[in-house]
């Protein structure tokens, strides 16, 4: 039985690791700057893979975690905002032509979900909902022990669920998506806008504001920070009520930096969830968990995708 080579393509760096099947400890791992706005991203990726390719062992498959949107069925990156040259880019085809092993691709949030299911907070569950609250809001769903990908490969774009039709403009160009209200970026933006409008706050001397700053200020009793996180939590609760109705998971896993905001975010979230849930049965024996894999979720999810998809040699 051969090895699995995993790649996690980020906006800042590309990471690659070589794993024995089912192991969370890489045999080799390297990284390279993505230089996303410079030509040659694919060339840097290919060179990184080659740098850890074993000379005396067999690689059964390559698993790739990439920003989307993308089509995991065809291996094509449709478009990704950070890598402009990747438009309808045949990523798996090019890597297969170079390394001659099966190559499997999915978006980074889906594979973070898959990683948490196989190796992290989702172990022991067959129905998993994963939400990452960071720069944006990403999501992934495992249903009945299978990663949900959908007909076009675009399932579980949960951050682009509309919860407030006349709400703030999302980065995708639509109004009222949960990402535009409750992501770490949106939390920081709302606090900054309120301070610029004259609201008093402990944060008013900061030249830039992050969601971490909002959380820290809330912990010190700052009323604007508390209101900002309560607003984000309220709409997250509405979104989560929709997700539970759609997917009925046994565990909800939260990842991303903004998930560290504590009770100031999560108490309003759970209150809003209870208020908006279609039926309280969805909450019976439902587990809420914090993601445990951190930055390795994408690499481990890519490994899991390749193991689940590749022939067992």
CATH number of the domain encompassing residue 287:
3.30.420.40
Do 283 and 168 belong together in one domain?
yes
Strands 28-33 and 59-66 turn out to be unpaired
Do 75 and 216 belong together in one domain?
no
Residue 118 belongs to some domain of the structure: no
Do 131 and 97 belong together in one domain?
no
Do 180 and 103 belong together in one domain?
no
Would you place residue 294 in the very low, low, confident or very high pLDDT band (cuts 50, 70, 90)?
very high
Residue 146 belongs to some domain of the structure: yes
pLDDT (average), residues 240-250: 98
Residue 119 belongs to some domain of the structure: no
pTM: 0.94
pLDDT (average), residues 79-84: 86
Do 106 and 146 belong together in one domain?
no
Do 283 and 299 belong together in one domain?
no
Residue 155 belongs to some domain of the structure: yes
b/e sequence 288-310, b meaning 16+ C-beta within 10 Å: ebebbbeebbbbbbbbbbbbebb
Residue 96 belongs to some domain of the structure: yes
Q: Spell out the alpha helix ranges (H) of the chain.
A: 41-52, 91-99, 108-119, 179-182, 184-196, 211-219, 223-247, 263-276, 297-309
Q: Does the pLDDT at position 80 exceed 90?
A: no
Do 304 and 283 belong together in one domain?
no
Residue 9 belongs to some domain of the structure: yes
Which residues form the domain of 163? Answer: 124-291
Do 59 and 175 belong together in one domain?
no
Report the alpha-carbon distance of residue 169 to residue 242 in Å, rounded.
20
Do 186 and 209 belong together in one domain?
yes
Which residues lie across from 104 on neighbouring strands?
63
Do 131 and 231 belong together in one domain?
yes
b/e sequence 48-63, b meaning 16+ C-beta within 10 Å: bbeebbeeeeebbbbb
Q: What pLDDT is attached to residue 311?
A: 66
pLDDT tens-digit map of 89-144: 999 999 999 999 999 999 999 999 999 999 999 999 999 999 999 999 999 999 99
Residue 198 belongs to some domain of the structure: yes
Collect all residues with Cβ–Cβ distance below 8 Å to 183 and sequence separation of at least 6.
133, 134, 135, 136, 137, 159, 258
Q: Give me the phi and psi of 137, to 5 degrees please.
A: -125, 120
Do 183 and 91 belong together in one domain?
no
Do 227 and 248 belong together in one domain?
yes
Q: Could you give the number of structural domains in the chain?
A: 2
Q: What pLDDT is attached to residue 312?
A: 66
């Amino acid at each position: 039985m051969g090895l699995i080579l995993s790649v996690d393509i980020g906006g800042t760096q590309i990471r690659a690791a070589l794993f024995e099947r089912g192991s969370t400890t890489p045999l080799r791992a390297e990284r390279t700057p993505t230089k996303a706005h410079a030509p040659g991203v694919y060339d840097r990726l290919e060179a990184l893979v080659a740098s850890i390719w074993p000379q005396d062992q067999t690689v059964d498959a390559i698993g790739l975690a990439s920003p989307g949107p993308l089509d995991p069925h065809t291996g094509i990156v449709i478009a990704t905002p950070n890598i402009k040259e990747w438009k309808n880019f045949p990523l798996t085809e090019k890597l297969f032509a170079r390394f001659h092993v099966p190559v499997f691709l999915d978006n980074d949030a889906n594979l973070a979900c898959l990683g948490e299911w196989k190796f992290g907070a989702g172990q022991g569950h067959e129905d998993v909902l994963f939400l990452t609250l960071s720069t944006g809001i990403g999501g992934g769903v495992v249903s009945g022990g299978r990663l949900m990908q959908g007909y076009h490969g675009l399932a579980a774009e949960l951050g682009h669920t509309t919860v407030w039709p006349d709400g703030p403009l999302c980065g995708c160009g639509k109004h009222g998506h949960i990402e535009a209200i409750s992501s770490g970026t949106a939390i920081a933006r709302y606090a900054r806008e309120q301070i610029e409008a004259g609201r008093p706050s402990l944060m008013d001397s900061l030249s830039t504001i992050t969601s971490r700053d909002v959380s820290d200020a809330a912990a010190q009793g700052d009323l604007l920070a508390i209101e900002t996180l309560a607003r984000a939590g309220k709409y997250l609760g509405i979104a989560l009520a929709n997700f539970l109705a759609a997917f009925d998971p046994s565990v909800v896993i939260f990842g991303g930096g903004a998930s560290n905001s504590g009770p100031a975010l999560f108490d309003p979230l759970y209150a809003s969830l209870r208020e908006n849930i279609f039926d309280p049965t969805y909450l019976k024996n439902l587990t809420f968990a914090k993601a445990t894999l951190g930055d390795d979720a994408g690499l481990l999810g890519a490994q899991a995708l390749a193991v689940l998809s590749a022939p067992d040699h």
